[in-house]
Amino acid sequence: MKILHQIGEYLYIMLQAFKRPDKGFVFRRQLLLDLKRIGSDSIGIVAIVSLFLGAIIAIQMAYNIDSPFIPNTIIGFSTRQMMVLEISPTFISMILAGKVGSRIASEIGTMRITEQIDALRVMGVNPANYLILPKITAAVIYFPILIIFSIFLGVVGGWISSIVTGIVPSAEYINGIRDWYDPFTISYAMIKTVVFAFIITSVSAYKGYTVKGGSVEVGQASTDAVVQSSILIIFFDLLLTQLLLT
Amino acid sequence: MIEVQHIYKSFEGATVLQDINTSFEQGKTNLIIGQSGSGKTVLMKCCIGLYDVDEGNILFNDREFAHLAEKKRQQIRQEMGVLFQGGALFDSFNVEENIMFPLNMFTNMSPKEKKERVNFVLEHVDLAGTNRKFPSELSGGMLKRVAIARAISLIPKYLFADEPNSGLDPKTAERIDGLLSDLTKKFNMTTVINTHDMNSVLQIGEKISFINKGKLWWEGNNKEVLKTDNEELNEFIFATALTRRIKE
């Protein structure tokens, strides 16, 4: 029963959020702020994690595929495929669920317990629309950019590690990343990213919006936002993979 | 004028308000007093529409409010200013942005007019020049005054204040009381203040409604409140050593 109540509550809040904003310029200003907070502020962590993951994948590939019958280009190819298909859209989204999701849940949760959301309601503002819609829009716009950036840096990370460790010559790695390219893999990654962006922001906003109590409950909501977003990401990853790649 | 007509409110079977029937008069500071847990905050939240009443009605200048759909409440809500207990200022906005927020949402004022209105209300709360400060940089009394400035930025017909003096020293509390009273007279507002501060009761209580155990127990003004023989009200008023000493 509790889960049904939560799903109903989540859908009701999303319906409120997806109404036409009262003032266009106020929405645009909030959107710009959220593009910075949710998107630009995440570039650093995405860059570091992607670069190192690409490097690690390339080294592990070289370690595991040690056969004269398999060409060295497979290392570049595998690094690219793993970054495009899974590591960037899913793994980086889970990191963003931790960073962005906890931020959204604690920000909105604090606004709830300090009566700022009540103040918005009493002023005649639709708080869900004012607080949640710009965040979802910002994530849906910015996450695909972050993921493209992550794929690029992952491939670069693999290339750097190949050169530094000498596991594969630079030319063979570059040839590998150009082998058997299927543009649909990028579309698949972008579709997943947009779905995950929506999950992260909407679930976190919902957890923050429905907080009752004090600082302990805000902390709990923040944790729940990350855990539930991560579980939903994995679930939808499986679902979308089944739907789009089979 | 705000008329509260026989309202009832309960939460999960526990009755919090029972048959509250009163009115709050225009141009006066109307005080709702009572102990913590007596139901006065619930009554105020019913008046501003944060809680729906179970029975009864609330009229704002003869316009029904309590049973209106959320969207239809918006028009009356735009005539309200509300001062929350903790101020409820938006942390990420500075003072000017906080006060400008209702102006951005509900008026078509030019940026210059909005700026003038912000400075006008800041002068009224004696905080001219603090436009660029953030809530985290303000003292408790200043926070309350900025919250008052935001509440009156649209020059509302109705002003609600939930325990405006809580957490303030007596001198600052008296200043906030004086400010609320002056603004009520100046803008001819219907002001409703929730408080359990006896100094406020005596200083600005032009109409006082005493709520006890969810019921309206007594009504009067600051001249009558000390002379009443109502036992529960006397218990509330003379609960502290200071007030008991004054009585003696």
The domains of chain A are located at 23-245
pLDDT of residue B236: 83
Q: Both ends of chain B: CA-CA distance in Å?
A: 38
The percentage of chain A sitting over the pLDDT mark of 70, rounded to a whole number, equals: 100
Instruction: Please name the residue that has the structure tokens 């009572």.
Output: B34
pLDDT of residue B233: 82
Residues with Cβ within 8 Å of B18's Cβ and at least 6 positions away in sequence, in order, are B8, B214, B215
| Sheet with B14-24, edge to edge strand ranges | B14-24, B2-11, B55-60, B63-64
ipTM above 0.90, yes or no: no
Specify the amino acid at residue A166: G
The domains of chain B are located at 1-79+157-171+186-248, 92-155
- pTM score: 0.86
- Cβ distance B88 to A118 less than 8 Å, yes or no, reads yes
CA B76 to CA A121: how far, in whole Å?
12
Six token digits for residue A88: 């960037």
pLDDT of residue A25: 87
Q: Does B166 touch chain A (CB under 8 A)?
A: no
Chain B neighbours among A 29-48 (CB < 8 Å)? 33
Instruction: Please compute the mean of the pLDDT values over residues B228-233 and round it to a whole number.
Output: 82
CA A233 to CA A227: how far, in whole Å?
10
Q: What is the CATH T-level fold of the domain B1-79+157-171+186-248, as seen in this structure?
A: Rossmann fold (3.40.50)
Name the CA dihedral angle for B229, B235, B240, B242, rounded to a multiple of 10 degrees.
10
| Helices (runs of H) and strands (runs of E) counted in chain B | 9, 10
From the list B84, B89, B106, the residue facing A124 with the nearest CB is B106
Residues of B in contact with A25 (CB under 8 A): 104
Q: Where are the alpha helices (DSSP H) in chain B?
A: 40-47, 70-77, 95-106, 111-124, 140-151, 170-187, 198-204, 231-237, 241-247
Instruction: Please compute the mean of the pLDDT values over residues B170-178 and round it to a whole number.
Output: 85
Quick check: A79 and A54 in contact, CB under 8 A?
Answer: yes
How many residue pairs from chains A and B have C-beta atoms closer than 8 A? 51
Task: Tell which residue, B69, B50, B56, B49, has the closest CA to residue B17.
Answer: B56
Quick check: B88 and B147 in contact, CB under 8 A?
Answer: yes
Chain B neighbours among A 83-142 (CB < 8 Å)? 110-111, 114-116, 118-119, 121-125
Q: What angle do CA A72, A74, A75 make, to 5 degrees?
A: 80
What are the start-end ranges of the E strands in chain B? Answer: 2-11, 14-24, 29-33, 55-60, 63-64, 80-83, 158-162, 190-195, 207-212, 215-220
CA A217 to CA B166: how far, in whole Å?
24
Quick check: A13 and A201 in contact, CB under 8 A?
Answer: no
pLDDT of residue A101: 96
- Cβ distance A118 to B50 less than 8 Å, yes or no, reads yes
Q: Both ends of chain A: CA-CA distance in Å?
A: 35
Q: Does B11 touch chain A (CB under 8 A)?
A: no
Pairing of strands B190-195, B158-162: parallel
pLDDT of residue A24: 87
Is the model more confident about A197 or about B166? A197
Mean pLDDT of chain B: 88
Mean pLDDT of chain A: 93
